[in-house]
Structure 1
């Protein structure tokens, strides 16, 4: 049983999150507005 590297799993999770968020129209807003909405 090989252990998964935390950095790799975090990278995969980040990529999934970016993919999902990329399909949401909320990202049409300005960058600062999106940052506040996601915070």
Structure 2
């Protein structure tokens, strides 16, 4: 039970990291103006 929960948790974290890296690459492409909006 615990092991299954742990693996799903890790999978969710991995997916989250992938999504964040995608967002970062999109922000880089859009340029610095988009970055200033986030600050």
TM-score normalised by structure 1 residue count:
0.56
Higher helix share: 2
* Aligned alpha-carbon RMSD (Å): 2.4
Structure label with greater radius of gyration? 2
Report the count of equivalent residues. Answer: 30
TM-score normalised by structure 2 residue count:
0.56
Structure 1: stretches of 5+ with no match in the other structure = none
Structure 2: stretches of 5+ with no match in the other structure = 1-7
